[in-house]
Amino acid sequence: MSATTKPNNRYLGMVALLALTAIACVGTIEFVFLRVPNEATMGIVQKILYFHAPAATAMYLGAGLCFIGSVGYLLRSSMKWDAFARAGADVTVIMGVMVLISGALWGAKGWGRYWTWDPRLTATLLQVLIYVAYGILRSFAAGGDAERKFAAALGILGAANIPIIKYSVQKWGGQHPTVTGKGGGGLSHPDMRYALLFGFLTFGLITFVFMWQRYKLHYVETEVEGLEQEAIALGLAGD
């Protein structure tokens, strides 16, 4: 009975989390576009901030989780750590693409062009490319220990790029605006601050759901690869 109940509880828990995440997404979108006032200078385009900044934070989180999984794999050679690192890399790529797209839309209004080789934009693009390379290596290379260790090194390298993205504006200037924090223009209306908070909470839920699902997928894939290799070895031994 307990063996049957436990998976059911996990399934119900995941369904509840998905429902909560969906409600948070709809609620945040409704709040941002129907309640939050337009910013005086940028107009409605400024509302990209409420998705752009949370996506950037989720990208950092994904890179940090990939870093943890990569270090764990190098220390223990555990398939669970490898799957954890791969899931973190997936989160980083998805959220990084969202950051680049939303940033380009903002740039079209603020700078008059979709892309400029601003230090922060360039470092963010590099971040995404590192984890795309990570995913390609793990997906198309042989699933051996050497490939996993090389991918883990990429995961660690990608995390080392986070401080460069974070402090690129302070160190090298550039055109990237500072809205919140020291030197930022701030969010004048209280609803603007609430919207940004809701954005962070919503993207936190999305990140957790996506991370958990990708972890389970990659772990199952690793187990299947191991069974295939064992079957091949037994077949060769039988011949």
Q: What is the pLDDT of residue 62?
A: 96
* Integer Cα distance of 114 and 103 in angstroms: 8
- Judge whether 104 and 110 are in contact, CB under 8 Å: no
- Judge whether 123 and 164 are in contact, CB under 8 Å: yes
Q: What is the pLDDT of residue 1?
A: 46
Those residues with Cβ within 8 angstroms of residue 22's Cβ, 6 or more apart along the chain or in another chain: none
Q: What is the pLDDT along the chain (239 residues), one digit of tens a residue?
A: 455 555 677 778 888 999 999 999 999 999 999 999 988 888 888 899 999 999 999 999 999 999 999 999 999 989 999 999 999 999 999 999 999 999 999 888 878 888 888 888 899 999 999 999 999 988 876 667 888 899 999 999 999 999 888 877 666 666 666 655 555 455 778 899 999 999 999 999 999 999 999 999 999 988 887 777 777 777 755 55
Q: What does each C-alpha distance from 222 to 45, 82, 84, 144 come to in angstroms? A: 43, 9, 11, 11
DSSP designation for 112: S
Sequence-ordered strand ranges (E) for the chain = none
DSSP-derived 3-state class of residue 39? strand
Q: What does each C-alpha distance from 11 to 43, 167, 207, 219 come to in angstroms? A: 43, 41, 18, 18
* Integer Cα distance of 113 and 19 in angstroms: 38
Q: What is the pLDDT of residue 146?
A: 85
